Amino acid sequence: MSVFEIEGGRRLAGEIDIQGAKNSSLPILAATLLGKGEHIIHNCPRLSDVDAAVEILRYLGCKVTREGNTLTVDSRDVSRWDIPEELMQEMRSSIVFLGAILARMGKAKLSMPGGCELGPRPIDLHLEALEKLGADIQDEYGFLHCSVQGRLKGTKIALSFPSVGATENILLASVLSEGITTVHNAAQEPEIVDLADFLNRCGAKVSGAGKSTIVIEGVNSLSATEHSVIPDRIVAATYLCCGAVTGGEVLLKRVNSSDLECMLPIFEQMGNTVSASPHSIYLKAPKMLKSVRNIRTMPYPGFPTDAQAPLMAALTVANGSSMFVENIFESRYKHVPELCRMGADIKVEGRVCVVNGVSRLTGAVVRAEDLRGGAALMIAGLKAQGVTTLRNIHHIERGYEDAERYITQLGGSMKRKKEN
């Protein structure tokens, strides 16, 4: 098993480019099933989740090649409509293939997805929406058997919660449907806009992406296209936390600063100097960070749940107490016990978490329990005195491309090692 060995106490300084967004790449790769031909996807990061999506595409009959950060997907010979359980279990986002397979093949069979265990994340919203579009869905022994007579039919769908995954599945299923589909209370994340842009390049008619109401006018067919994935806003926020916690000075390039508008003011409240242009963000940290009174995770454009753990790690050494309220997932504080092993003072009560800043953290042997929690432990390790050994780094590899290379580029000490 590989681990990250992090030597703390080094001030990070320098500039890095931000990778493509994982949460855009996965639904866009699923969308390549809809446009018959050879798709070219640029800025697609090297991640284990992306690798899992590629394996699903290949199983379904696509030809996929990679050159650097460009993936070429030839979807002309898709012949399967099922996804084996072992592929579904690789990542939670595998459920996004359901809408695309159903729209392309008229039927689909897959098991419940895997991924990070963050508490109940029911896919009921996905299934209810697809049923409204005309799909027949049967759940038998943990497998979903889905079919449709002819084509899916456009309809009005009102989501009870602005679920990103459900919105993506509706988009993927309805672009080839008959008639018009209107989605109310749709997710507004930048990744939804990126998916809609890709689909429109293929010939779809999607309007309103990025707003609470999306309208999809179904078309008869889609063609292949070329597209560049947007930068990853969560990765950008993570490296800002790395700079902030080490008293550093970092410049992030190839980033959409507008996607971080809800996060940048919090970094300023922490005492950082922050300057943003459309495609870069500069941060200079003070000697000691200030606490932040209240951070509530919310659907976009609110503070993202994926940035909660990285920011918490930075605030463990802030002057004063900070409070987090997690409104999206029930089990998103699994990193807290591990941070406390390093000397953090954190109290959790239900969805509320209070972080009392301490004067120092100490290196320890810790385990990542999920993707963003792993990033939080990496951030804490960069600040801690001594050496931190971070285990279960396969979680981090799901969302961060070559994290040790980026940290080293900024002057930190983080090495991948084999552990007996």
The verdict on whether residue 92 carries a ligand-binding annotation is yes
The verdict on whether residue 122 carries a ligand-binding annotation is yes
pLDDT tens, position by position, 105-157: 999 999 876 444 444 446 899 999 999 999 999 988 878 999 999 999 999 99
The verdict on whether residue 214 carries a ligand-binding annotation is no
Judging by beta carbons within 10 Å of its beta carbon (0-12, 13-18, 19+), is residue 153 exposed, middle or buried?
middle
The verdict on whether residue 121 carries a ligand-binding annotation is yes
By mean pLDDT, which of 38-47, 134-143, 299-308, 393-402 is the weakest? 134-143
CA 159 to chain centre: 21
- Average pLDDT of the residues in 5-30: 98
User: What DSSP string describes 120-160?
Assistant: ----HHHHHHHHHTT-EEEEETTEEEEE-SSS-B--EEE-S
pLDDT for the residue numbered 115: 43
- Judge whether 242 counts as a catalytic residue: no
> CA-to-CA distance for 366 and 264, rounded, in angstroms?
29
Token match 């931000």: residue? 18
User: What DSSP string describes 271-291?
Assistant: T-EEEEETTEEEEE--SSPBP
The verdict on whether residue 124 carries a ligand-binding annotation is yes
Position 78 confidence tier, pLDDT thresholds 50, 70, 90:
very high
Helices (H) and strands (E) in the chain, counts: 14, 26
How many Cβ atoms from other residues are within 10 Å of residue 150's Cβ? 8
The verdict on whether residue 18 carries a ligand-binding annotation is no
The verdict on whether residue 16 carries a ligand-binding annotation is no
Phi, psi of 363 (to 5 degrees): -60, 145
By mean pLDDT, which of 88-102, 167-181, 235-249 is the weakest? 88-102
List CB contacts of 128: < 8 A, sequence separation 6 or more: none
Catalytic residue among 44, 116, 241, 353: 116
Position 94 confidence tier, pLDDT thresholds 50, 70, 90:
confident
The verdict on whether residue 176 carries a ligand-binding annotation is no
Going by C-alpha positions, the residue among 47, 67, 24 that lies closest to residue 198 is: 24
Q: Which domains does the chain have, with CATH numbers?
A: 2-19+231-418 (3.65.10.10), 22-228 (3.65.10.10)
CA 418 to chain centre: 27
Going by C-alpha positions, the residue among 219, 95, 214 that lies closest to residue 156 is: 214
pLDDT tens, position by position, 284-308: 999 999 999 999 999 999 999 999 9
Going by C-alpha positions, the residue among 219, 184, 223 that lies closest to residue 202 is: 223
Helices 97-105 and 124-132, interaxial angle, to 10°? 20
Token code pair at residue 373:
């929690």
- Average pLDDT of the residues in 193-213: 98
pLDDT tens, position by position, 249-292: 999 999 999 999 999 999 999 999 999 999 999 999 999 999 99
- Average pLDDT of the residues in 362-376: 97
By mean pLDDT, which of 42-51, 133-142, 225-234, 365-374 is the weakest? 133-142
pLDDT for the residue numbered 169: 97
Counted residue by residue, the chain has a size of 420
Phi, psi of 286 (to 5 degrees): -80, 175
What value does the mean pLDDT of the chain take?
A: 95
